[in-house]
């Protein structure tokens, strides 16, 4: 079963939206655009709070063999 985690590879700030994109099998940039539109429509402060909460709640993605070779 796939778990929702913060992305280590597709991250702009903290990898939250990249992780959502990986979980949904969608490009992370599309998730970011949709999130930005929703944030602008509903107000910026709630969107920022949701992002910060997700940053603290979602665990980091596990390190894969390919990631550890880069370090």
Whether residue 34 lies inside any domain: the answer is yes
Whether residue 71 lies inside any domain: the answer is no
- Average pLDDT of the chain to the nearest whole number: 89
CA 28 – CA 69 distance, rounded (Å): 23
Whether residue 21 lies inside any domain: the answer is yes
Query: What pLDDT score was predicted for residue 15?
Result: 93
Whether residue 37 lies inside any domain: the answer is yes
Of residues 34, 39, 33, 40, the one with CA closest to residue 51 = 39
Please say if the pLDDT value at position 55 is more than 90.
Answer: yes
Whether residue 7 lies inside any domain: the answer is no
CA 16 – CA 21 distance, rounded (Å): 9
Whether residue 25 lies inside any domain: the answer is yes
Each residue's pLDDT tens digit, 24-54: 999 999 999 999 999 999 989 999 999 999 9
pTM score > 0.85 for this model? no
Report the domain count for the chain: 1
Please say if the pLDDT value at position 69 is more than 60.
Answer: no
Domain that holds residue 29: 16-60
């Amino acid at each position: 079963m796939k778990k929702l985690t913060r992305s280590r590879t597709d991250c702009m700030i903290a990898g939250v939206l990249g992780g959502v994109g990986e979980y949904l099998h969608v490009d992370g940039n599309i998730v970011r655009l949709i999130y930005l539109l929703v944030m602008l429509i509903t107000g910026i402060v709630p969107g920022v709070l949701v992002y910060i909460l997700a940053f603290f709640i979602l665990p980091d993605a596990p390190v894969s063999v390919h990631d550890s070779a880069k370090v």
